[in-house]
Chains A and B, each alone.
Chain A
Amino acid sequence: MKLFTRYNRATTMLTIVVMLVLGVIYYYVISGILTSQVDRDLEVEEQEIFEHVKLNHELPVVYPSNHQFIYLTPVKSPVKRRFIDTQYKDPDENAMEPARGLISSVVLNSQRYQIRVVQSTVETEDLIRVIFMITAGVIIVLLVVLQVFNRMILTKLWQPFYTVLNQLKVFSPSNQTILDHATSEIDEFNDLNKAVSTMSARAVDDYIQLKTFTENAAHEMMTPVAIINSKLDSLLQTDEFTQNQSVLLKDLYDTVTRLTRLNKSMLLLTKIENRLIADEQVIDLKELIDGLLHQFDELFSGLEISVTADLTEHSIKASRFLVEVLFNNLIGNAIRHNHRKGHVHVTLTQAYASINNTGKPSALDMKLLSKRFQKSAESEGTGLGLALCKQVCENCGFKLQYDFTDEQHTFKVIF
């Protein structure tokens, strides 16, 4: 939900509730004031009757006047003076109208008379309605104006925030561009800008340090391995070797090769994790997978593994290097963990790529597999293959799924 919507919702709700409560109070106050006005009219009338009786010693003659009636009726018991809400029958319109009445009494020649003055309140009600309508109109206009004004003000006020947000969205330490802080009139945004700019500078700095460290680590570790490797190559040139010596040499070679591969995989993993590889480009996946399968030709035919591929044209935008690492590992695994005369099937659609192979008759534990250095006892791999795959998928925004059905292992990369 947008901040503005949220804010708007809250203020609108509050305004409506307050308006309703105020409206009710307003109504009662206005009608109270008008009623007391009517009551005063009634009292004036009553007073006139009293004065008339006192002066003339007779009851006044009452003429029906506009919206007002006076009834004088002789009574025995004393009458309690009170105001009443009553009905009034309009003789012209012949309809019942709301009215206000005053009941009082006067004594003339020891005869008690009840005075009943009734005045129609139709006009009062009309007045209240008009006042209420005008007020409601003003409120609605005010509400609309406030809404529009709020929207304009908020949009303008939050402009610096959106600027920073957009900068952050495209920010990547690998670009090594520090966000410069635009100054705003609002202190909070100035603080935010400063914080973002400091953070980006730190991120870029960390990134550079990490990159340097990774490269130095590679250098430091690869150099001794390179020396061992070159010494082995030199040793091989020296003289005749006995059967025993050549077996030892072969083991040494294989181990150094594995050490190299392991070190390279580890460095690659760190690099991918730290997102040090950023050579995004459009890749024709069909061509890439085709090429890889071709490269694996000898391995397939050597193990008599049949390969089928069902590839549709699909291009993605990602690092070519990483995508190659991903499919290299997946296809390599499909071969390594296969058996003789097995089968590998590769599918590529717009939505996913899957590699399906025969192999061990039991399902693998994906959770265990993607851990570092997890491998089967007989595997010659580094144990980093799937960890690499998973990391590549994470970086490229893919999803890696494993499935075991009908004795077939399937790894699926969902784009």
Chain B
Amino acid sequence: MKILVIEDQAGLRESIESYFTGDGNVCESASDYNTAIAKINLYRYDCIVLDITLPDGSGLEILKALKEGRHADGVLIISAKNSLDDRLNGLDLGADDYLTKPFHLSELKARVAAIVRRKSFDGSNSLIFNEINIDIFSKEVKINKQAIKLTRKEYDLLLYFLANKNKVVSKNAIAEHLWGDEIDIADNFDFIYSHIKNLRKKMTEAGGKDYISAAYGIGYKFIDQ
């Protein structure tokens, strides 16, 4: 997929770029309003990661320009402004999702992947990875055409890992993804372990490969062997 990151903070922009590049993805970036406008007028992207606060303009204006040009690019707003007004404004203007800073790169990637999946018009609702076949609408998971029954959290976890293939995903990021950041369970990551253990068990029992491995005690990694 082709991604455009519009973000003025060099540190964050570079991190996002390097995280998204590779695995068949192309990631471009723009650091200010004018560059961004020039890019969106010239090229089309599967998803645009858009910071609202830019030094020379508002990200919302870029969003407006995009919608006025009737471009179908997916838009994910990233903003430090966790204000309801901004969120609603952004979504009203046609953004697909809204993520508040700070966020984990893995969370951003999962959200972007979800947007791209929704936007793709290849007619199939399924996400296929090797022997794993996931029907996004019915939330059915099949391994070697054999359906396995996953709980809601295990299903979310699997999608999350698939969006972050070959990346180490920290436990903190997983916890936030599964429980949201309102619920403070940072003190205890045992719950994540048990969910992952169950997911691995269900997948291997159905004849799938064991893709998930622990990484340095900090997180987990889904490796395409």
Residues of A within 8 A of B (CB): 215, 218-223, 225-234, 236-237, 241, 245-247, 249-250, 253-254, 256-258, 260-261, 264, 267, 276-277, 279, 295-296, 298-299, 302-303, 321, 324-325, 328, 332, 336, 380-381
Contact = CB atoms under 8 A, between A and B. Distances in A.
8 smallest A-B Cβ distances: which pairs? A230-B15, A226-B102, A246-B216, A227-B11, A222-B80, A219-B80, A226-B101, A233-B105
B93 interface: no
Given A218-B81, A250-B218, A328 B167 contact: no
Given A246-B218, A249-B216, A302 B190 contact: yes
19 contacts: A219-B80, A220-B80, A222-B101, A223-B9, A226-B101, A227-B12, A230-B19, A233-B105, A233-B106, A234-B19, A236-B215, A250-B217, A253-B170, A299-B188, A302-B191, A321-B84, A324-B182, A325-B182, A380-B186
A215 to B, nearest CB: 5
Given A233-B104, A302-B188, A253 B218 contact: yes
A325 B219 CA distance: 28
Contact of B184 (A230, A232, A246, A261): A261
A254 B172 contact: yes
B182 A229 contact: no
Nearest to A332: B184
Given A219-B81, A220-B80, 11 more contacts: A221-B80, A226-B12, A233-B19, A249-B216, A261-B184, A261-B186, A302-B191, A325-B182, A328-B182, A332-B183, A381-B184
- Name the interface size band of chain B: 35 or more
B12 to A, nearest CB: 5
Contacts of A250: 217-218
B184 A231 contact: no
Contact of B15 (A227, A249, A381): A227
Contacts of B104: 229-230, 233
- Tell me the dominant secondary structure on chain A's binding face: helix
B182 A236 contact: no
Contacts of B216: 241, 245-246, 249
Contacts of B16: 230
Contacts of A336: 184, 187
Contact of A234 (B9, B18, B173, B188): B18
Nearest to B79: A219
Nearest to B153: A298
B65 to A, nearest CB: 22
A233 B170 contact: yes
A254 B186 contact: yes
Contacts of A247: 217
B76 to A, nearest CB: 14
Contacts of B105: 230, 233-234
Interface in B136-191: 167-168, 170-173, 179-188, 190-191
A15 to B, nearest CB: 59
Interface in B58-86: 79-84
A236 B218 contact: yes
Nearest to B16: A230
User: Which one of B16, B180, B216 has the highest number of Cβ atoms from chain A below 10 Å of its Cβ?
Assistant: B216
B53 A219 contact: yes
Contacts of B12: 223, 226-227, 230
Given A230-B11, A234-B19, A254-B172, A261 B181 contact: yes
User: Which one of A249, A257, A299 has the highest number of Cβ atoms from chain B below 10 Å of its Cβ?
Assistant: A257
Given A226-B101, A234-B105, A257 B186 contact: yes
Contacts of B191: 298-299, 302
Contact of A237 (B11, B79, B168): B168
B103 A226 contact: yes
Contacts of B81: 215, 218-219
Contact of B19 (A223, A237, A246, A260): A237
Contact of B101 (A223, A298, A325): A223
Nearest to B190: A302
Nearest to B171: A253
A302 B195 CA distance: 12
B160 to A, nearest CB: 14
